[in-house]
Amino acid sequence: MKRKIRLENKIKINIFKATFEQSLNLQDDPSIIYIKKDVERPGVKEKPILLKILAISSISILYGLCLIVKYIINNPDPNSVIPPVTKNFLPTSLFLFCLFIYLLVWLITLHRRNNSTKFVYGYINTINFLNWLSLEINLLFITISLNSL
């Protein structure tokens, strides 16, 4: 037991014990200079076209859910096991309201975005979209199955 304690006391880790001059040497390191040039390009702006295509297609899918509910209400299937739908809990006005809220939050976070807060605002917008998606899916299933319940 005493031997283990003595061995542990002999091992010293020199993490965060660099002098000021040694820390300045990191600025001249070629790999760090290459990484900074690769990440921080002042004249180049990101063009996240794939992200915009994904956002537009996701919002189109949400609008498609509203259209599916309208179609089910206007054209009931007489051979269906589920009784016909009489009340629409997912109107198009709800979709437009949620779209307005989502775009408003997105525009507010777009103008306040910089490199340090970009991830946080992207996370906020993703959570808003997922809440909107879960609301619409729940209302879709409530609309379809309410009469049978």
Q: Are residues 58 and 102 in the same domain?
A: yes
Q: Are residues 95 and 122 in the same domain?
A: yes
Q: Are residues 80 and 132 in the same domain?
A: yes
pLDDT of the residue at 130: 94
Question: What is the C-alpha separation between 62 and 149, in angstroms, rounded?
Answer: 25
The Cα-based distances of 29 to 25, 41, 81, 103, 119 in angstroms read 7, 18, 71, 44, 28
pLDDT of the residue at 10: 52
* Domain containing residue 15: 2-39
pLDDT of the residue at 114: 74
Q: Which two tokens stand for residue 139?
A: 């209302």
Q: Are residues 69 and 140 in the same domain?
A: yes
Buried b (16+ CB within 10 A) or exposed e, 41-58: eeeeeeeeeeeeeeeeee
Residue 62 near residue 132 (C-beta atoms within 8 A): yes
pLDDT of the residue at 120: 85
Question: What is the C-alpha separation between 140 and 120, in angstroms, rounded?
Answer: 30
Q: Are residues 61 and 109 in the same domain?
A: yes
Residue 44 lies in a domain: no
Provide the domain count of the chain: 2
Question: What is the C-alpha separation between 22 and 25, in angstroms, rounded?
Answer: 5
pTM of the model: 0.67
pLDDT of the residue at 11: 54
Please name the residue ranges forming H helices in 1-117.
2-10, 20-24, 30-39, 49-74, 92-111
Low-confidence ranges of the chain (pLDDT < 50): 7
Q: Are residues 66 and 28 in the same domain?
A: no
User: Which residue bears the tokens 């542990």?
Assistant: 8
pLDDT of the residue at 17: 72
Residue 32, sorted as left (phi over 0), alpha (psi -120 to 50) or beta, turns out to be alpha
